[in-house]
């Protein structure tokens, strides 16, 4: 009896996210912590952002493997706004030439990334304060009601929620969304940035020595100079720049010295490394589709997802102005987020699929009333 009363109180409090009695609360700086054996994660409502992810390194010590800031108030101020471990939406990544069509009607979106739209443009979800609609010791749910046209050209209201939870050394992410009024593009992701060494490897702060394996991703989308897919689907030859499928032990920087690595992510040669989409083909159910690991910390991270591919971005545009968290770096030696020092791995639908009917993804990216959008992934941590 007493138990169920407490439970009701906890649920009521979590739903209101207001002051209460015994229910878990955020820290004084507004961070919500969830934990399970081998894993502890912290979140803030701004962008439904993960700020810290502690897992165990090869010495059994906690290592914070995602990027972020110690100062929670800095997230909305950061001029670089790298979307650190946040939920961009309602349509993540790029929309070519700031437009798309539904049922023959053209909708114009904000051109905030050259001539393209990035992360839906102004009022994108990674800039919003989500509501906390449930919170317990090992799980938190954030929700958003996105008004019609709050991002220009994204019409109709959308209701969405993301639930983060942890079990033994595993981070689970589940998102749902529905369009309440009319058909609209929906494409969500968790924009997670990793450095599995927490910038504590004294020999390098770059990401190139991490190992990356995408065993089901021989194919990738060709990108143009603005990192927008051209429409072409290419197949990577073994050991070529975009190959992470032919062997399990390829370094992120395995092709670093090959011609074309500089410029592989466009910007007329100014973007080195990766900022593109890798298709996941014929992966068995529950197979690890991405494995990222580092010999220095000994941490291995495995992605499982219901999504058909991942965006990989190797942080070319990090210019060394952002400071690292206290849980990362080496004091006096390495305190900033430098160029090519991290990797974002974003499970998602094909970017700009709404403008590429030839890929047959349009019906997976446009949702009307009565159609449920679902997205589910997990990151399982272990040792190499």
DSSP conformation class of 14:
H
* Per CB under 6 A, 145 contacts ligand NAG: yes
Closest separation in Å from C-beta 258 to ligand NAG = 8
* Per CB under 6 A, 152 contacts ligand NAG: yes
Give the Cα separation of 311 and 211 in Å (integer).
Answer: 16
Looking at beta carbons only, is 90 or 128 nearer to ligand NAG? 128
Q: How many residues does the chain have?
A: 384
Q: Which of 35, 122, 230, 321 binds ligand NAG (CB under 6 A)?
A: 122
Surface-to-core class of residue 309, CB atoms within 10 Å of its CB (0-12 exposed, 13-18 middle, 19+ buried)? buried
Catalytic residue among 119, 172, 191, 210: 191
| Residues between 243 and 282 that touch ligand NAG (CB under 6 A) | 253-254, 256-257
Closest separation in Å from C-beta 211 to ligand NAG = 12
Nearest-CA neighbor of 164 among 309, 53, 74, 55?
A: 53
Closest separation in Å from C-beta 359 to ligand NAG = 24
β-strand partners of 34 = 41
Looking at beta carbons only, is 326 or 369 nearer to ligand NAG? 369
Question: Per-residue contact track with ligand NAG, 2 to 31, x per CB under 6 A?
Answer: ------------------------------
* Per CB under 6 A, 127 contacts ligand NAG: yes
DSSP conformation class of 325:
P
* Per CB under 6 A, 315 contacts ligand NAG: no
Closest separation in Å from C-beta 248 to ligand NAG = 16
Closest separation in Å from C-beta 13 to ligand NAG = 15
Among this protein's residues, is 346 annotated catalytic? Answer: yes
Looking at beta carbons only, is 119 or 304 nearer to ligand NAG? 119
Which range in 7-15, 112-120, 164-172, 325-333 contacts ligand NAG by CB under 6 A? 112-120
Give the Cα separation of 380 and 359 in Å (integer).
Answer: 30
Looking at beta carbons only, is 208 or 231 nearer to ligand NAG? 208
Closest separation in Å from C-beta 107 to ligand NAG = 9
Contact 33, 53 (CB under 8 A): no
Looking at beta carbons only, is 131 or 169 nearer to ligand NAG? 131
H-only helix segments in the chain: 2-16
Residue-wise over 110-133: b if at least 16 C-beta within 10 A, else e?
A: bbbbbebbbbbbebbbbbbebbbb
Catalytic residue among 254, 346, 349, 356: 346
State the residue for tokens 């999504």: 307
Residues touching ligand NAG: how many (CB under 6 A)? 21
Give the Cα separation of 17 and 10 in Å (integer).
Answer: 10
Give the Cα separation of 342 and 319 in Å (integer).
Answer: 12
DSSP conformation class of 44:
E
* Per CB under 6 A, 354 contacts ligand NAG: no
Q: Is the dihedral of CA 353, 193, 270, 206 positive or negative?
A: negative
Looking at beta carbons only, is 57 or 146 nearer to ligand NAG? 146
Contact 82, 69 (CB under 8 A): no
Contact 311, 303 (CB under 8 A): no
Q: Which of 97, 131, 176, 240 binds ligand NAG (CB under 6 A)?
A: 131
Among this protein's residues, is 254 annotated catalytic? Answer: no
> What is the contact surface with ligand NAG in residues (CB under 6 A)?
112, 118-119, 121-124, 127-131, 144-145, 149, 152, 155, 253-254, 256-257
* Active-site residue set: 191, 346
């Amino acid at each position: 009896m007493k138990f169920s009363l407490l439970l009701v109180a906890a649920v009521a409090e979590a739903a209101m996210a207001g002051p209460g009695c015994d229910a878990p609360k955020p820290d004084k700086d507004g961070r919500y912590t969830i934990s399970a054996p081998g894993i502890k994660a912290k979140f803030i409502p701004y962008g439904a952002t993960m700020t810290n992810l502690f897992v165990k390194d090869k010495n059994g010590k906690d290592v914070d493997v995602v990027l972020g800031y110690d100062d929670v108030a800095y997230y909305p101020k950061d001029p670089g706004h790298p979307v650190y471990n946040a939920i961009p939406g309602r349509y993540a990544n790029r929309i070519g030439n700031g437009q798309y069509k539904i049922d023959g009607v053209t909708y114009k979106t904000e051109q905030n990334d050259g001539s393209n739209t990035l992360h839906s443009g102004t009022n994108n979800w990674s800039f919003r304060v989500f509501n906390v609609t449930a919170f317990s010791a090992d799980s938190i749910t954030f929700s958003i009601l996105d008004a019609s046209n709050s991002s220009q050209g994204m019409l109709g209201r959308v209701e969405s929620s993301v639930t983060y939870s942890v079990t033994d050394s595993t981070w689970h992410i589940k998102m749902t969304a529905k369009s309440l009024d009319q058909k609209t593009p929906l494409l969500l992701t968790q924009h997670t940035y990793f450095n599995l060494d927490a910038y504590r490897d004294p020999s390098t702060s770059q990401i190139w020595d991490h190992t990356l394996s995408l065993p089901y991703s021989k194919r990738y989308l060709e990108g143009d100079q603005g990192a927008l897919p051209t429409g072409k689907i290419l197949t990577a030859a073994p050991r070529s720049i975009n190959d992470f499928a032919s062997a399990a032990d390829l370094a992120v920087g395995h092709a670093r010295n090959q011609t074309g690595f500089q410029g592989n992510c466009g910007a007329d040669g100014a973007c080195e490394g990766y900022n593109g989409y890798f298709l996941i083909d014929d992966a068995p159910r529950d197979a690890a589709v991405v494995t990222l690991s580092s010999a220095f910390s000994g941490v291995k991270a495995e992605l499982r997802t219901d999504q058909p591919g991942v965006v990989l971005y190797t942080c070319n545009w990090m210019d060394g102005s952002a400071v690292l968290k206290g849980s990362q770096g080496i004091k006096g030696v390495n305190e900033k987020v430098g160029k090519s020092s991290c990797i974002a791995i974003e499970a998602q639908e094909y970017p700009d699929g709404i403008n590429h009917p030839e890929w047959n993804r349009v019906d997976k990216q446009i949702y009307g009333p009565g159609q449920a959008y679902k997205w589910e992934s997990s990151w399982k941590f272990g040792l190499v």
